[in-house]
Amino acid sequence: MDDDKEKQTVIEAEIPMGTVHPAALEPYRVRLFVEDEIVRDAEITVGVNHRGVERIMEGLPVEKANSLTEKICGICSNSHIWNSCLVAEKALDIEVPERAQYIRIIMEEMERLHSHFLYLAHGNEVLGHETFAMRLFYIRETVMDLLGMIGGNRVQYGAPILGGVRPRCELDDKRIQKLKDGMDLMEERLAAFADRFVSDPMVMSRITDVGVISQKDALRLACTGPTLRATGVESDLRTEMKEYDPFEFDVITQDGGDVKAQLLTRVFENLESIKIIRQAIRDLPDGPITNRSWEMKDTPLTKSYIEVPRGTLYHSYALEDGRVRHCVIRTPSMANIGAMQHACIGHHITDAQLSIVQCDPCFTCTDRAIQIIKI
Amino acid sequence: MSLKSYSRGRAVHVMLVYTGGCNGCDIEIVNCILSPKFDAEQYKVFLTWNPREADVLVVTGPVTKHNEGPLREIYKAIPEPKAVVAAGACALMGGVYKNCHGDIPSEEIAGPVDKIIPVDARVPGCAVRPQDIVAGLVSALPLILDAE
């Protein structure tokens, strides 16, 4: 028995990736501890991207701080500015006109669409199917053009302002028609893609049972958003938000928690988003889009949670002389880092990058924490 | 046109480095090369992640202090002739992250990019538009094609 043990030569090694790495795109550091090509432990280090947005926001006038939150993330910029406005609106009791609520929902759902398309394209690129990735970028262009049409910019389009939406983002008949056409086109292309994706045996064999996160582990690691829903947990903050009350949509869940479940969750969520946008266009109420009758006052710390493409986003700040104090932002990728590390363990080293990408990391969002140095 | 510059023109490799921006510019750059709508690949411009293979370095973001070292090393690793394109407001002048502090120097940001490595072409915008990126890449190409 002892002789056998001596004969086994287990190679233990550490494979560092990053901070700049071909597959990772964003700068972050991964350390994989491998034993004969099987990952035994993984460690993700963030902090390279830290720009100190919360500290810059400290003491800024609230309107200026709101537009700065947009620059936290280029993918979910509208979610940040929306949630930041919601905090101030909750604190100052500002009533948002109904038409503005609907336009905000349309922008948010379009953001979910383009974020999920980007995720699917990136996922397909990492798993080695560049044709699918290009196809998805092609489908994504439709929604980018629509966002550019409404917001005036393809990326930082942030529609919400305190008490409504920007006048630039008003939806007239011409824009509504373009939105409708865009949604039809996108649904058709997405359905065609989904058919081909699911029936492709090569892709399916590559992503089935890879990077598995069990439901128990997902709950233990406090995952949020589609990452959690892909393990079968019906958890969507949109069902509890009053802004989403007028709309009917399903909470998409998948079983398995592997890469296949993660990708398919996003595909079906995109179809749900198209459904919500159609409802919003159909029932779009008339009326003003901004409420300007409100007064600034000092408020205690107010917090707000919303569901964004990656999960639950938290913003909180207090207002003092119209300026932001004690700003704290917590992004969903922060909660999902544990799942990313966990998904790598026990799988082959070549699957590690796919296991990380499947949790939809956005480290530019995440890097805001202030580093505490032990003395 | 020499044989070398002819062959260089047939395969321009672009390397993209994120240095702490908001992801907006980076995705637009990947979009303008990979997406079939803009499709810079049809002009034989390819995206690579290997500095030793690259001709053009596209830098986005305000260059955080942690990213300063890696950026210098990547610049050194790219073989001559090379060109650097700084894309986006952050790469050009630090964007909102640097200038919000006013006169107080930022503790996080080491940039903008031209403080750290020489920049040949500048693409403005927040976020940059894919059309502008293609224009910026084209304006940097003579540096590579006409090099001795």
In this structure, are residues A117 and A270 in contact, taking their beta carbons and an 8 Å threshold?
yes
CATH fold for domain A51-333: Cytochrome-c3 Hydrogenase; chain B (1.10.645)
Which tokens sit at A348?
């082959």
In the predicted structure, residue B102 carries a pLDDT above the cut 70: no
Identify the closest residue of chain A to B16 by CA–CA distance: A25
Read off the pLDDT of residues B39-52 as tens digits, 9 standing for 90 and up: 888 888 888 888 89
For residue A7, the model assigns a pLDDT of: 60
Read off the pLDDT of residues A239-253 as tens digits, 9 standing for 90 and up: 998 889 999 999 999
Which tokens sit at A326?
């004690």
- pLDDT-flagged residues of chain A (< 70): 1-11, 23, 368-375
Best of A67, A137, A367 to disrupt the B interface by mutation (most B CBs within 10 Å)?
A: A137
Rounded Cα distance between B69 and B4, Å, is 32
- With 0-12 CB in 10 A as exposed, 13-18 as middle and 19+ as buried, what is B87? buried
Best of A20, A50, A72, A371 to disrupt the B interface by mutation (most B CBs within 10 Å)?
A: A20
Rounded Cα distance between A47 and A63, Å, is 27
Coil, strand, or helix at residue B123? strand
Read off the pLDDT of residues A86-106 as tens digits, 9 standing for 90 and up: 999 999 999 999 999 999 999
The predicted model gives B47-65 an average pLDDT of 88
Which tokens sit at A152?
């005036």
Identify the closest residue of chain B to A26 by CA–CA distance: B18
Higher-confidence position of A21 and B73: B73
In this structure, are residues A289 and A100 in contact, taking their beta carbons and an 8 Å threshold?
yes
Asked if B91 is an interface residue toward chain A (Cβ–Cβ < 8 A), one would say no
Question: Is A51 in Cβ contact with B62 (below 8 Å)?
Answer: yes
- Give residue limits of the domains in chain A: 51-333
Rounded Cα distance between A50 and A33, Å, is 26
Identify the closest residue of chain B to A115 by CA–CA distance: B27
Identify the closest residue of chain A to B90 by CA–CA distance: A71
3-state SS string for chain A? CHHHHHHCCCCEEEEEECCCCCCCCCCCEEEEEEECCEEEEEEEECCCCCCCHHHHHCCCEHHHHHHHHHHHCCCCHHHHHHHHHHHHHHHHCCCCCHHHHHHHHHHHHHHHHHHHHHHHHHHHHHCCCHHHHHHHHHHHHHHHHHHHHHHCCCCCCCCEECCEECHHHCCCHHHHHHHHHHHHHHHHHHHHHHHHHHCCHHHHHHHCCCCCCCHHHHHHCCCCHHHHHCCCCCCCHHHCCHHHCCCCCCCCCCCCCCHHHHHHHHHHHHHHHHHHHHHHHHCCCCCCCECCCCCCCCEEEEEEEEEECCEEEEEEEEEECCEEEEEEEECHHHHHHHHHHHHHCCCEHHHHHHHHHCCCCCHHHHCCCCCCCCC
- Give residue limits of the domains in chain B: 3-144
Question: Is A74 in Cβ contact with B24 (below 8 Å)?
Answer: yes
Asked if B36 is an interface residue toward chain A (Cβ–Cβ < 8 A), one would say yes
For residue A97, the model assigns a pLDDT of: 92
Residues of A in contact with B97 (CB under 8 A): 51-53, 56, 71
Q: Which CATH architecture has domain B3-144?
A: 3-Layer(aba) Sandwich (3.40)
Identify the closest residue of chain A to B99 by CA–CA distance: A56
Distant-in-sequence, close-in-space partners of A185: CB < 8 Å, separation ≥ 6 = A142
Asked if B66 is an interface residue toward chain A (Cβ–Cβ < 8 A), one would say yes
Question: What is the value of ipTM here, to two decimals?
Answer: 0.91
Question: Is A50 in Cβ contact with B64 (below 8 Å)?
Answer: yes
How much is the pTM?
Answer: 0.92
In this structure, are residues A339 and A212 in contact, taking their beta carbons and an 8 Å threshold?
no
Distant-in-sequence, close-in-space partners of B35: CB < 8 Å, separation ≥ 6 = A134, A137, A138, A140, A141, B130
- A55 to chain B, closest Cα gap in Å: 10
**How much of chain B exceeds pLDDT 70, in percent?**
95
Asked if A79 is an interface residue toward chain B (Cβ–Cβ < 8 A), one would say no
For residue A2, the model assigns a pLDDT of: 56
Asked if B23 is an interface residue toward chain A (Cβ–Cβ < 8 A), one would say yes
- B44 to chain A, closest Cα gap in Å: 16
In this structure, are residues A45 and A53 in contact, taking their beta carbons and an 8 Å threshold?
no
The predicted model gives B118-122 an average pLDDT of 92
Partners of residue A35 on adjacent β-strands:
A12, A38
- B81 to chain A, closest Cα gap in Å: 22
